[in-house]
């Protein structure tokens, strides 16, 4: 089968022919239809992600497909079940084996492409905003990188939770996407001063930051007293150093958040969240935004779109049709 693999952290990933795997105890084999790309894939390809896989490794954090076979001791999901899988690795291939507990059945109305774009982005924003930041109805939520994979879902979920949402992104095209997702106020970070604009809008109660760098520093200075800043990631490449005196004076809370980390110590947080999110999808309260769909042989182009920030919402690699 074909798989998009890292063979050397100093060289680009490549499409390779490898043997098809078979499920072991507690595992299922999935015929993969689609894989959602994430910024973490870029970091993993360079050996810079929190979890560094042994080489060779197949990229792809999240996927969707059909269960083809099950290993010993697996009663669910059964062969033929359409599932989404938070795999960590292995999604950019024609098939893969994964722990059965990582598989979530997907609604009949959901396409494989939507399912592959769903778990990480929506799961990150929902758990961050509800479980960690305790976002309240009527509060002001500032979302940085608001047209990106996780940022756009933060706009959508923040609005659904009753917040007033300020979306910050670079350029009119990206801001239009954030507006369509429910943003109340828009800030073009390419032409406007983020701190001044947010202050003019009354300040922020919660900041959702997948960008880091100078935008983090500007957003922190635009926070209201007792605001919460959620650190999601550092897409800018700049990990900001947090001045403790500013946190002290304004009674701010800085919250670190890594969605995948909950698998190790509180997996029920993720499963409960995903159950709620899939229900919202079935109720048509969530609408995944996919800006690019590419075949497996163009997976490298998909990663380049993320690197250049040339996409909005999610980039999905389609491996087999629905």
* Residue range 237-251: mean pLDDT, rounded: 92
Long-range contacts at 9-13 (CB < 8 A, ≥ 24 apart): 9/45, 9/46, 9/47, 9/55, 12/45, 12/300, 13/45, 13/59, 13/299, 13/300, 13/303
The CATH number for 2-118+288-318, chosen from 3.30.70.260, 3.90.180.10, 3.40.50.300, 3.30.70.1350, is 3.90.180.10
> 121-260 in CATH: which number?
3.40.50.720
Residues 197-222 have pLDDT tens digits of 999 999 999 999 999 999 999 999 99
Task: Concatenate the DSSP letters of all residues of 238-255 into one string.
Answer: --PPP-HHHHHHHT-EEE
In this prediction, residue 50 carries a pLDDT of 78
In this prediction, residue 320 carries a pLDDT of 83
Label residues 187-213 b or e (16+ Cβ within 10 Å = b).
bebeeeebbebbeebebbbbbbbbbbb
CB 136 within 8 A of CB 155: no
> Is 321's pLDDT higher than 70?
no
Q: How far apart are CA 1 and CA 18, in angstroms?
A: 6
> Is 68's pLDDT higher than 80?
yes
Q: Do domains 2-118+288-318 and 121-260 have the same CATH topology?
A: no
Q: How far apart are CA 274 and CA 296, in angstroms?
A: 27
Task: Identify any residues that bridge with 32 across adjacent strands, giving them in sequence order.
Answer: 65
* Residue range 117-122: mean pLDDT, rounded: 96
In this prediction, residue 322 carries a pLDDT of 63
In this prediction, residue 205 carries a pLDDT of 98
Label residues 284-301 b or e (16+ Cβ within 10 Å = b).
eebebbbbbebebebbee
> Is 273's pLDDT higher than 70?
yes
CB 112 within 8 A of CB 81: no
* Residue range 176-185: mean pLDDT, rounded: 97
Name the DSSP letter for residue 285: -
Place of tokens 């490449």: 237
* Residue range 268-275: mean pLDDT, rounded: 92
Q: Where exactly are the structural domains of the chain?
A: 2-118+288-318, 121-260
* Residue range 9-23: mean pLDDT, rounded: 95
The residues, any chain, with a CB within 8 Å of residue 320's CB and separated by 6 or more, are 31, 32, 33, 34, 65, 94, 112
Mean pLDDT of the chain: 95
pTM recorded for the entire structure: 0.92
CB 31 within 8 A of CB 95: yes
Q: How far apart are CA 147 and CA 179, in angstroms?
A: 9
Tokens of 174: 């990206």
């Amino acid at each position: 089968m074909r798989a998009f693999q890292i063979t050397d952290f100093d060289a680009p990933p490549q499409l390779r022919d490898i043997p098809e795997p078979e499920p072991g105890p507690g595992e299922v084999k999935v015929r993969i239809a689609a894989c959602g790309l994430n910024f973490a894939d870029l970091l993993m390809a360079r050996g810079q992600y929190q979890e560094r896989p042994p080489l060779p490794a197949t990229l792809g954090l999240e996927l969707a497909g059909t269960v083809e076979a099950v290993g010993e001791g697996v009663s669910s999901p059964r062969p033929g079940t359409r599932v989404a899988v938070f795999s960590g690795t292995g999604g950019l291939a024609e098939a893969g084996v994964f722990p059965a507990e990582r598989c979530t059945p997907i609604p009949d109305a959901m396409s494989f492409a939507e399912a592959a774009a769903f778990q990480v982005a929506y799961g990150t924003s929902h758990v961050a905003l509800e479980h960690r930041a305790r976002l309240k109805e009527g509060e002001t939520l500032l979302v940085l990188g608001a047209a990106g994979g996780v940022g756009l879902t933060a706009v959508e979920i923040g609005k659904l939770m009753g917040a007033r949402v300020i979306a910050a992104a670079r350029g009119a095209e990206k801001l239009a996407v954030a507006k369509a997702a429910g943003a109340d106020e828009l800030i073009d970070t390419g032409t406007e001063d983020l701190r001044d604009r947010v202050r003019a809008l009354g300040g922020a109660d919660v900041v959702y930051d997948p960008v880091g760098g100078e935008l983090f520093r500007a957003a922190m200075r635009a926070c209201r007293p007792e605001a919460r800043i959620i650190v999601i990631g550092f897409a800018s490449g700049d990990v900001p150093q947090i001045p403790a005196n500013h946190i002290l004076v304004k009674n701010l809370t800085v919250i670190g958040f890594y969605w995948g980390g909950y698998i190790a110590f509180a997996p029920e947080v993720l499963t409960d969240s995903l159950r709620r999110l899939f229900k919202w999808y079935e109720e048509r309260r969530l609408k995944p935004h996919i800006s690019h769909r590419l075949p497996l042989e163009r997976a490298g182009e998909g990663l380049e779109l993320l690197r250049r920030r040339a996409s909005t919402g999610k980039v999905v690699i389609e491996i087999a049709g629905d």
